Structure 1
Amino acid sequence: MTLLADSAPEQQDVAFIDVLDPAFRFTSPEVARAREKHWYAKTPLGLLVLRYAEAKDLVRNPGLIHNGVRFMEQNGITEGPIHDWFVNGLVSRDFEDHRRLRGLVNKAFVPRMVENLRPLMRETSERLADKLASAGDIDFIEEFADQLPLVVMTELLGIPPEDFLTFRTWTSDIGLVFSLALGGDIPARVEAAVTGLYGYVDDLMAAKKADPGEDLISALVALQHAEGTASRDELQNLIVSMIFAAHDTTRLQLANAMVTFAEHPDQWKLLGDNPDLTQQAVEEVMRWRPSTNALFRYAPQDFEFRGEVIPKGTMLLIGVQAVQRDPRVFPGGDVFDITAPRSTPVLQFGGGLHYCLGAPLARMEITEALPALARRLGAPSVTGPVTWRPAIGITGPNELPLRFG
């Protein structure tokens, strides 16, 4: 189903990595060896960027594009619900078109709206953590990682909490769009998710127009109607993406954090005893096991970078987890350590014009969740089998059976 990359620069001693192998992980020794050889490796999709400095420059390069049409073509999709949602989405828009749609969100999604959610996040995190204290064996995703973003979505977006059972599978499956290249049942799951969310959001927008509330979706619907800077279809597309992003990436980052602390129980005790380490712990968790594990850009024309000519049409796949362990900028980066002060920012939220709008919200949720859990509960341990989403996309465990010590 996936087309091979059209071309790539010729370079000696560049590794080839099959990122389409279901067993591929960015933490494998072959990735570390490839990173030592060169700043990129070749893959069936294009160039996999493995070093931080190059990745940082590329995600901020204003001349590179997202090219949703090309991304869909690489995955054998030229029409249909997935194509129409992705190609017309904010993440696939570039230049002035991106600024226009992003500007609509910026007018409604102001910083104080996020900060006003902090007391709710704190209270919810503490309430859920108290419940876990006497729960024994649990599925952390169901009991905590799903629940905290849902409460935030209810308050921020105006999503009725009783609708969560309706859209929770869709908001999880739609994120697999970045893993379409692996084939299998992924395309069918993404298409079902897109179709379901579009229908849900269509009804939600109509309800917000008829009876607006003090929430972000109501504000966006009112702005779109008053200003006309975006079409109704564009706003519907945007809200579908917002509902997905507000749920899936945050719940997976919380789950990734628990897996990480289960592997490093001494670090969990440090956090519980020293809440002043919270900010460092949040950044270290995202560095070590990010939920957004790969970003991509395309070259709209030939361009020179680091002394090489990157051909037009080349896909540049940023291996986020690999670059965030690059020892050139993260000394001791092959060790998870919440006490290590690191001045280099993580890249999972992207950069430049496409820097993630929801980054402050996600950081705040994790900042409130981790100390609430660590103060009340002993170190987590994984008590059963865990299956994982693909590495080249939004990743994390599908389920997470835990017991807190």
Structure 2
Amino acid sequence: MSFLDVLDPDFDFDTPEVYAAQAENWYADSPIGLLVLRYEEASELLRDRRMDHGGKRYMETHGIFDGPVYDWFVPMIVNHEGEVHRRLRGLMNKAFTARRIAGLRPFVREQSELLAGRLEGDETRDFVVEFGNRLPLAVMCRLLGVQPEDYDLIGPWTSDLGLVFALSAGGDIVTRLESAVNGLYDYVGHLIDEKTAHPADDLSSDLVAAHLADDTQVSRDELCNLLVTLVFAAHDTTRHQLDNAMLAFAGHPGQWTLLGRRPELADQAVEEVIRWQPSVPTVYRYAAEDLDYQGLPIEKGAYLTMCVKVAQRDPRAYKAADRFDITAARDVAPLQFGAGPHHCLGAALARVEVGESLAALATRLGPPSIAGPVPRMGPIGVQGPEVLPLRFG
């Protein structure tokens, strides 16, 4: 089988080498284990009950056996299976409703238009600072009932938590993660006390009320973990998806012009942006038991990486897969939100944020063009530019 060195700092999934490996087989080897390159197999394995997230194993594989990062990550909701996962997931489903998301849409639209207006003019702006970071942070704080004056305090922490999925890159990642986890746990503890004393119409208050009514439904420790995870998930992946959308349209200015003329295409544009430039280009799983998949023996404990970005350009699943086209009707679901019982709870809200943003930006501004260096991270983990100098029109 093909070998792809995903730990090489210069490695990029979007290369002829990778698509040649995809054409040859559904999987390839790598320094971190099996890479799943095709859509059908990645989708099936994400749903396969013989696979799990293995949070404890993931931490220990990267040399973390205790400490704040371990204590946050291992009991995270996505790392539970069975009854515990069903209990916590059921609690979240009751609080994170379609009604609540619909109620946020006017706020998302208002903020999108306000931030888009600030980007008007000929000068170069850092889109990450001016828009990509600000919008999901504001929406996350509105959702959870966090005061606007706390945005700048928690923003850096929530940004750093996404590094947990890039531990293989090394460097100072663990130090940054520990600082973020400690800061957010302290903040969330105060937030729970505040919502206990002064409940409001927000997601945090609903979860606190469930804990106060029955602590067997959700304990204080579980509540803290859920809120820290929500703070991270509602901000980091969406901010990167907004930034990645600009990268996609900078390479396809005609598509941006089309969207500006036809803003009704915004929802379809969201799906194409997520397919083409996902903020979660890889999703991992562990084999929970020995298994045989399509004639390939996979040992218990084996680490598999679903190469989302590559699979979402698989010509077996998508017509004209190598074209970025916001008018194309794609009839298969994106993989970056996961699948099955662990499908991302915030997928609908992320789509609302990206859709309202694209409509506001494209109807007001000309096509984005990159106006300076864009440092890139490695290919593993949540991904998007930390700096994105753009000029519009």
- Residues 150 and 161 of structure 1 are in contact (CA less than 8 Å); yes or no, is this contact kept in structure 2? no
The yes-or-no answer on 1:81 pairing with 2:76 is no
The Cα offsets for residues 34-88 of structure 1, whole Å up to 9 and x where unpaired, read as 1112111111221111000000101111221111111111111111111111101
1:223 shift after superposition: 0.5
TM-score (norm 1): 0.95
Distance 2:265 2:101 in 1: 22
- Aligned equivalent of 1:334: 322
SS at 2:305's partner residue? strand
From 72, 82, 93, the counterpart of 2:59: 72
The 5-angstrom pairing of residues 174-213 of structure 1 reads 174-213=161-200
2:84 pairs, out of 97, 101, 106, with 97
Distance in 1 between residues matched to 2:122 and 2:91, nearest whole Å: 43
* Distance across 1 between alignment mates of 2:158 and 2:99: 26
Whether 2:154 is the aligned partner of 1:167: answer yes
Q: Distance in 2 between matches of 1:207 and 1:269?
A: 46
CA distance in 2, matches of 1:100, 1:30: 44
| AA partner of residue 148 (structure 1) | L
Q: C-alpha separation between the residues in 2 aligned to 1:173 and 1:145?
A: 15
Q: Which residue number corresponds to residue 229 of structure 2? A: 241
Distance in 2, matches of 1:151 and 1:181, equals: 31
Matches of 2:138 and 2:345, distance apart in 1: 19
- AA aligned to 1:156 is L
Q: Report the equivalent of 1:287.
A: 275
Match of 2:338 in 1: 350
Q: Distance in 1 between matches of 2:199 and 2:378?
A: 39
Q: In the aligned structure 2, how far is the partner of 1:154 from the partner of 1:242?
A: 10
Match of 1:217 in 2: 204
CA distance in 1, matches of 2:127, 2:338: 27
- The one-letter code sitting in structure 2 at the alignment partner of 1:350 is G
- Cα distance in 1 for residues equivalent to 2:236 and 2:108: 17
Whole-angstrom CA distance in 2 between matches of 1:141 and 1:321: 21
Pairwise CA distance, 1:181: 0.9
Higher mean C-alpha displacement, 61-70 vs 394-403: 61-70
SS across alignment from 1:132? coil
Deviation of 1:31 after TM superposition, in Å, equals 1.2
The 3-state SS of whatever aligns with 2:123 is coil
Secondary structure of residue in 2 paired with 1:128: helix
Deviates more, 1:205-214 or 1:131-140: 131-140
Aligned-pair CA distance for 1:376 = 0.6
Q: Helix, strand or coil: the match of 2:333?
A: coil
Per the TM alignment, residue 392 of structure 1 is displaced from its structure 2 partner at its CA by 0.8
CA drift at 1:331: 2.0
Q: Partner of 1:258 in structure 2? A: 246
Selected match of 1:35 from 12, 19, 22 = 22
Q: Secondary structure at the match of 1:152?
A: helix
Question: Alignment partner for residue 379 of structure 1, among 349, 367, 379?
Answer: 367
Give the aligned length: 392
Cα distance in 2 for residues equivalent to 1:264 and 1:160: 38
SS at match of 1:184: coil
Following the alignment from structure 2 to structure 1, what is the Cα–Cα distance between the partners of residues 179 and 377? 18
- C-alpha deviation, 1:17, in angstroms: 1.2
2:6 is aligned with 1:22: no
| Equivalent AA in structure 2 for residue 301 of structure 1 | E
- Cross-structure match for 1:273: 261
Equivalent position of 1:108 in the other structure: 95
Shift of 1:389: 2.9
Equivalence for 1:7: none
| Cα drift, residue 32 of structure 1 | 0.8
- Amino acid of the structure 1 residue aligned with 2:67: G
What does residue 232 of structure 1 align with? Answer: 220
Give 1:3's aligned residue: none
Query: In structure 2, how many angstroms separate the alpha carbons of the residues matched to 1:196 and 1:350?
Result: 28
Cα drift, residue 352 of structure 1? 0.3
Aligned pair 1:296/2:252, yes or no? no
Give the match's secondary structure for 1:384. Answer: coil
Task: Give the letter aligned to residue 237 of structure 1.
Answer: N
SS of structure 1 residue aligned to 2:118: helix
CA contact (8 A) 1:140 1:255 kept: yes
- In 2, Cα distance between the equivalents of 1:297 and 1:60? 10
Question: Is 1:388 aligned to residue 376 of structure 2?
Answer: yes
Change (3 A) 1:391 1:222: same
Contact 2:138/2:151, CA 8 A, preserved across alignment? no
Whether the 8 Å CA contact 2:237–2:382 is kept in 1: the answer is yes
Partner deviation per Cα, 1:204-258 (whole Å, 9 max, x = no partner)? 1111111111110011011011122121111101100100111111111000000
Are 1:155 and 2:154 matched, yes or no? Answer: no
Q: Distance in 2 between matches of 1:233 and 1:31?
A: 43
User: Under a length normalisation based on structure 2, what TM-score does the superposition of the two structures give?
Assistant: 0.97
Deviation for aligned residue 1:276: 2.3
Q: Deviations over 1:140-189 (max 9, x none)?
A: 11111122112212321101111111111111111010000111111211
Q: Are the aligned partners of 2:141 and 2:151 in contact in 1 as well (CA < 8 Å)?
A: no
Identical pairs, percent: 54
1:62 aligns with 2:38: no
For the 8 Å contact 1:62–1:352, the answer to whether it is kept is: no
- Structure 2 residue runs of 5 or longer lacking an equivalent are none
- Distance, in Å, in 2 between the alignment partners of 1:396 and 1:95 is 33
User: Quick one: distance in 1 between partners of 2:174 and 2:21?
Assistant: 30
How far has the Cα of 1:135 moved from its partner? 6.6
The 2-side partners of 1:274 and 1:142 are apart by 27
